[in-house]
Amino acid sequence: MLHRAIRAAGMAILVTSGPDGLMASHIPMLLDPDAGEFGTLYGHVARANPQARATGQALAIFQGPDAYVTPSWYPSKQVDGKVVPTWNYVAVHAMGVLETFDDPARLLDIVTRLTERFEGAREKPWAVSDAPEDYVAGMLKGITGFVLPIAKLEGKWKMSQNRVPGDRAGVVAGLTADGRDDIAGLIAR
C-alpha cells in the first residue's frame, strides 16, 4: 500500500540537513521495492543545488491527494454543532541515509529510467536516446545522483475515519459535488 502511494505520487520533497540548516527540494524519484528491507529510492538534483553535497539522514515526503473538509458536510452538525473544519490527505514518509554519486553511467541509468517511467504511457514517448549523445553527456555533468535506501517507512492517511458513518457519507457527497472523486473514493472504501 505504501509503495503504491509512492508510485502514484512520483515526486517527493527531499529533506536533508546541512551546515546552514534544513534543505528541501521537490524531486521525481524512482522506487525499487526489492532493494533493501523497505525499498530504495533513486533520483538526481542539479549539481548547483546544495543537496548535491548532502549526506547523512534524509526524509522523502510523498504527498497523495488531499482536500479541505467543511463541517457543513456533516449531518451531525445539525445535532450538536460540535464540528470543526479539517483536511483529509495521504502522505508517505521514507527515511534513510542519503548517498550521492557522480558516475555518468549510473546517472544515465537513473535519467533513462525516470524518463521511461513518466513518458511510457504517452502515445509517442520521448526517450533519452532521442537527444544527441554529446548533449546528454553534457547534461549529465550538471547533475548529481542519489540513492536513499529506506530504513523507515511511514504512511499517513486521514480520510475522515474518525467520523461516524453519516458524516463520512456527507464528506463523500460534498467532495463528489466539488469534483474531488479522488478523495471521495478513498473515503468510501
**pLDDT on residue 157:** 92
In 3D space, the residue among 71, 66, 79, 61 whose CA is nearest the CA of residue 25 turns out to be 61
At residue 10, does pLDDT exceed 90? no
**pLDDT on residue 58:** 97
Contact call for residues 88 and 125 (beta carbons, < 8 A)? no
Whole-model pTM: value is 0.89
**pLDDT on residue 79:** 83
Return d(Cα 128, Cα 113) in angstroms, integer. Answer: 9
85 CB contacts (<8 Å, ≥6 apart)? Answer: 68, 69, 70, 71
Task: Spell out the domains of the chain, with CATH numbers in brackets.
Answer: 2-66+88-159 (2.30.110.10)
- Cell numbers placing 120: 511510457
Percent of the residues in the chain that have a pLDDT greater than 90, as a whole number? 90
Dihedral of the alpha carbons of 118, 119, 120, 123, in degrees to the nearest 10: 140
